[in-house]
Structure 1
């Protein structure tokens, strides 16, 4: 097994991506800083607009060669920069969906000079037309009332009725509030429900998921729960320790490394 698999490297992804051979990754799942000035224990989210977009382009150009020819990318963004980043990615990949994550934020207070922002934007991009996508793995089951309403003979045995329907492009999944059982000490942790849906749909069993910004480690946890492999990077050593702890709770011995990036092999 490659020495970079199932590891989280405590280093900058821009440097660490050199560890990964080109064409080795099935799915990139990226949740980069949003450019909102959040505190991740460093200044990674405090760039001016032009600098932020330049940085986004740099890591995207470093990460995309790691994808297989039929690989995919999901990227979390907000409305502030999703138009620019989507255009950037459209010049390199094919856009399949814009997914809206409704975070189910309670209707309490909010801005009085604009509409309250209660969603994140997710871009789904692919490298080629034959990209991997396992719809059956993520179908949403119909409830008993719907099944009963479709009980006429023409529907009996219909695959779509038995397995469920295709998830829509608006995902209503509650954010992880402070008392949530999944919640770790990270300001932008994503729910396992969302990440596991992406992994099941767009990474084949045994395939490899790359997360350049591991954060609390949800991608690594989801990959192991779904029978996939992972690799990722995280700058904050406290978050690296958090990832190791979360993986240990899944019965996985985490391979965390802060070794310097090895020199590329001679051509």
Structure 2
């Protein structure tokens, strides 16, 4: 298993990847909710010191965010093997935009699924329903089916796990870090050993850690230097845990 991680803009770094070389993309790009959340009546910022809405990287105007997602999907199509797959985590109110852009670049829309957090933050629990879900979209490239290691089991598009445990944040915190259990589900099901998996919005490196454990090759890209360093440390020490 090999891994390569880069600290830089994902579009610039993706342009260095050869055509038709990636089997699977699993990624969690900005949801374009920063300004939206700031204008809502929420106490989230008070409850968590690394609230994503205050991070700065999720504050693009919609048109700018849409252009960035279009460029990301254009590069993904170029480097994706025919029959490859992509999982994109996304806010439900942006799902239609991602589907439209992905289909424009040759991706076949399979489904929109839900990740249900078993222990969500109970913010505003006495005012309205607690937000305990996030959406994910599943596409294949240039075909209507791809690798699907379900082992004869029926796999639902509804996945339940706890949020990221403290043990997976020991190298540092990322405001939207996904748990390894969740990412493992997609990497195992949608790729085989030795496959090349890309996460162009790598964050703190969860996809890379999972790939290393499951014997997949990994390419990760992260713009923020502090998160890149967390990912680098996690990747270096994965497999060395007591």
TM-score (ref. length: structure 2): 0.83
Could you tell me how far 1:203 is from its partner in structure 2?
1.3
Matched, 1:239 2:227: yes
Computing the radius of gyration from Cα coordinates, the structure with the larger value is: 1
Q: CA deviation at 1:42?
A: 6.5
Aligned to 1:20: 17
Structure 2 partner of 1:229: 217
After superposition, the C-alpha distances for 1:87-140 in whole angstroms (9 at most, x for unaligned) are 22233311122110011245845277764432110001001134111112xxxx
* Larger displacement relative to structure 2 (68-77 or 99-108): 99-108
Q: Is the 8 A contact 1:36 1:45 kept in 2?
A: yes
Q: Measure, in 2, the Cα distance between the counterparts of 1:19 and 1:238.
A: 23
> Is 1:219 the counterpart of 2:219 in the alignment?
no
Per-residue deviation at 1:166? 2.1
Identify the residue that residue 167 of structure 2 maps to in structure 1: 181
In structure 2, what is the Cα distance between the partners aligned to 1:39 and 1:107? 14
Question: Is the 8 Å Cα contact of residues 41 and 236 (structure 1) preserved in structure 2?
Answer: no
Q: Distance in 2 between matches of 1:42 and 1:27?
A: 28
C-alpha distance after superposition, 1:161-198 (max 9, x if no partner): xxxx3221111111125xx3222411111011111111
Instruction: Give, in whole Å, the separation in 2 of the partners of 1:10 and 1:120.
Output: 27
1: CA distance, partners of 2:54 / 2:123: 28
- Matched residue count: 220
CA distance in 2, matches of 1:8, 1:57: 23
Contact preservation (8 Å) 1:42, 1:236: no
RMSD: 2.3
Q: Deviations over 1:1-37 (max 9, x none)?
A: 9xxx611110001101111101000001121011122
Alpha-carbon separation, structure 2, partners of 1:41 and 1:52: 17
Q: Which residue of 2 aligns with 1:195?
A: 183
Give the one of 24, 27, 30 matched to 2:27.
30
| Residue 150 of structure 2 is aligned to residue 135 of structure 1 | yes
